[in-house]
Amino acid sequence: MSINLIPNLFKNSRISIGKQQFYNATKNSSKRKNASVAVILRVDSKYNDIFDDCSFKCICNSKRNEHKEKCINTFIQSLISNHKDQRNNNNNNNNNNNNNNNNNNNNNNNDSNNNNNSLLSKNDNYIPLELLYLKRFSRNGNNGEVCFPGGKIELNETEQEAAERETLEEVSIDLKSSNNFTLIGQLDDKFTYDQIGVHSFIYLQLCKETPKIILSPNELVDYGWVNLDYILNSRENKNSKRSDNNNNNNNNNNNNNNNNNNNDDMNKIQFTTVSEITISKSLKSNYLLRKICDHLYVPYLMLPIVSNYQFRLWGLTLDITSDLLKRLTGSSPIPSARAVNNSFLLYITRNPYKSLFIFSTTFLSVLISTLLYLK
């Protein structure tokens, strides 16, 4: 997935100026029940050399991190042009080396093939993108959620302000810096199993070096950047739903030993039950919901992040990632929970109180009708 797809994000998720002004002017105390996250994209660190001769220069005179589409597209085209020039120079050097020494050229070709695994690596326009993921702290060790930087919206704070503030607090990245980052747009709002509304904002890194990431203690334990091609090229494991319970029991006993070592599960979309993977307090404490979740499956994907912790992407963060892929490419390989579950069970878990109310009123109506009929 290349940076030349960023214009698709502008088209499919850009916040209009009028709407953005409305967001900045609206500061409702009820938003404290919601949360905001920052979805941060950057050029793959292996391609940082393309920034050497074309650093970002704002042409829209924006004093904030909300550069105009033309400004960002011009910068992207300059990166692609510089990348083409570098590739041409490398090809010329390789041809010269080939004339001098065929054996050395074969070795160089093998190394280059290992470094460019993507199907699009031969495309001059291809500059891969990476996405930042975090691992939250958990008292249960490896059970902390994989997430994006973000948190709850405070009083008198907009959704965007919350995403930028939480990112600064959690990973020490200042998204307000207009020379280092720009706001691309906003994804669809999502809801957690605890019915917390989550707003997702997309940011693109404009500088060569990512600011030093300092994790917030007692909140986060690790982080990693993942090439979006890894997720885009993932495929569903058809047999995982049937055998997942046995696999999960084995994984729970050997979490540390299996981290990033099980190549069979990498780049494959697996399935597990909600009760097995969730840390939601409301679902864990409700006996009826817990039993229903024993038969409710959700997809997850193991991320290729070298860490002492297991990066298992699922739930809300996976939904946001899937939405991002759809905005970029028009499709996503990640199946929805609705596609692999009973719609009735899924509705109960996502609307437990409403479902209980409907069930209670229906039961009382039937009971009253029966008593009236008997009389």
pLDDT tens track for 80-93: 888 888 777 766 66
What is the rounded average pLDDT for all residues in the chain? 78
Distance CA 296, CA 133 (A): 25
* 41-55, 175-189, 352-366: the lowest-pLDDT one: 352-366
220 pLDDT band, cuts 50/70/90, is very high
Q: At what angle do helices 69-100 and 102-115 cross, to 10 degrees?
A: 150
pLDDT in tens, 329-339: 999 999 887 77
CB proximity list for 129: less than 8 A, separation 6 or greater: 1, 2, 3, 5, 41, 42, 43, 44, 227, 228
| CA–CA dist 141, 144 (Å, integer) | 7
Phi, psi of 111 (to 5 degrees): -65, -40
Helical ranges in 67-158 per DSSP H = 69-100, 102-115
The average pLDDT across 152-166 equals 93
pLDDT of residue 312: 93
> Is residue 244 predicted with pLDDT exceeding 80?
no
Q: What is the dihedral of CA 41, 72, 9, 203, to 10 degrees?
A: 30
Q: Are strands 297-302 and 312-314 parallel, antiparallel or unpaired?
A: antiparallel
Q: Quick one: pLDDT at residue 301? A: 94
Q: Which residues pair with 153 in a beta bridge?
A: none
Residue 136's nearest CA partner among 307, 268, 337 is 307
| Tokens 């404290």 -> residue | 32
Cα first-last separation, the chain: 70
Q: How confident is the model at residue 227 (pLDDT cuts 50, 70, 90)?
A: very high
Residues 261-270: tens digit of each pLDDT: 455 557 889 9
Both structure tokens of 366: 């039937």
Cα 35 from Cα 224, distance rounded (Å): 22
Q: What is d(CA 198, CA 209) in angstroms, rounded to the nearest whole number? A: 29
| 185: β partners | 202
Going by C-beta distance under 8 Å and a sequence separation of 6 or more, which residues neighbour residue 277? 298, 300, 312, 314, 315
Helices (H) and strands (E) in the chain, counts: 14, 12
Residue 79 and residue 54 in contact, taking contact as beta carbons nearer than 8 Å: yes
Over residues 315-319, the mean pLDDT reads 93
Q: Kindly write down the DSSP assignment for every residue of 303-353, as one continuous string.
A: ----SSS--EEEHHHHHHHHHHHHHHHS--SPPPGGGGS-HHHHHHHHSHH
The CA distance from 5 to 126, in Å, is 10
- State how far the alpha carbon of 313 is from the alpha carbons of 32, 55, 136, 283, 350, in Å: 26, 33, 12, 19, 19
Residue 65 has pLDDT above 70, yes or no: yes
Cβ-count burial of 170 within 10 angstroms (0-12 exposed, 13-18 middle, 19+ buried)? buried
Q: Higher confidence at residue 169 or residue 357?
A: 169
76 SS3 class: helix
Q: Which residues pair with 202 in a beta bridge?
A: 39, 185
- pLDDT one-digit tens code per residue, 7-32: 888 888 866 544 444 444 444 445 44
3-state SS class at 122: coil
Confidence (pTM):
0.79
Contact status, residue 149 vs residue 173, Cβ threshold 8 Å: yes
Residue 272 CB coordination number (10 Å): 21
